[in-house]
């Protein structure tokens, strides 16, 4: 019903009628329930993977909130200088593409917990490729995609190299790391 309502414009009409102050507590409750369910529905050994997947999401949320505060002051990210500008840029790079980043980080940590280093290396290799085109960690303010080498920022190459080095390290270590008892190496 919500999908159908969104297609015909009813949902946007209803959202416009409901005060933001009434929606915020509902969204907080839903967020808490989703978080709790994420920990309950996964094996206990994968709890670190669930926690790691929240990091880019929190970065994106903080980025939105800081942007709102700056806008209320009549400022923007370009008005920041020094350490504040560096921290804002870091939040932007970490938060852009947060959904895919969260999936990749969660998968990597879950695979590491299970001792599946080659598979984790594969996920890191995907993340490395994603950095080069802005699928994850886009340095652009819009969070948009770009061709490798088409932007002046050094973030894509540095992050891609980091993920690539991690992939290589995991692949090299895989023969010496056994999966935990009860977990099959696949």
Residues 153-164 have pLDDT tens digits of 999 999 999 999
Q: pTM of this prediction?
A: 0.83
pLDDT score of 48: 96
In percent, how much of the chain has pLDDT > 70?
98
Instruction: Return the closest-CA partner of residue 113 out of 21, 177, 36.
Output: 177
Q: Which residue ranges make up each domain of the chain?
A: 45-175
Residue segments in the chain with a per-residue pLDDT below the cut of 70 = 184-186
Q: Return the beta strands (E) in the chain as ranges.
A: none
Which residues have CB under 8 Å from 157's CB, separation 6+? 132
The string of DSSP letters for the chain reads: -HHHHHHHTHHHHHHHHS-HHHHHHHHHHHHHHHHHHHHHHS-GGGHHHHHHHHHHHHHHHHHHHHHHHHHHTT--GGG--HHHHHHHHHHHHHHTTHHHHHHHHHHHHHHHHTT-HHHHHHHHHHHHHHHHHTSSS--STT-----TT-SS-SHHHHHHHHHHHHHHHHHHHGGG-PPPTT----
What pLDDT is attached to residue 3?
78
């Amino acid at each position: 019903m919500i999908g159908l309502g969104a297609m015909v414009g009813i949902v946007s009409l209803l959202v416009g009628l409901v005060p933001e102050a009434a929606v915020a507590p509902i969204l907080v409750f839903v967020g808490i329930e989703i978080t709790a369910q994420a920990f309950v529905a996964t094996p206990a050994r994968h709890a670190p993977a669930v926690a790691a997947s929240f990091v880019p999401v929190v970065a994106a949320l903080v980025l939105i909130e800081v942007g709102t505060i700056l806008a209320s002051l009549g400022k923007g990210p370009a008005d920041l200088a020094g350490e504040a500008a560096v921290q804002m840029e870091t939040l932007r790079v970490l938060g852009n593409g947060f959904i895919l980043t969260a999936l990749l980080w969660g998968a990597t940590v879950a695979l590491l917990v299970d001792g599946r280093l080659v598979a984790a290396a594969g996920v890191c290799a995907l993340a490395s490729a994603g950095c080069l085109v802005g699928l994850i960690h886009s340095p652009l303010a819009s969070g948009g995609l770009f061709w490798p080498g088409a932007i002046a920022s050094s973030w894509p190459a540095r992050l891609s190299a980091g993920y690539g080095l991690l992939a290589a390290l995991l692949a090299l270590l895989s023969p010496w790391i056994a999966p935990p008892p009860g977990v099959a190496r696949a």
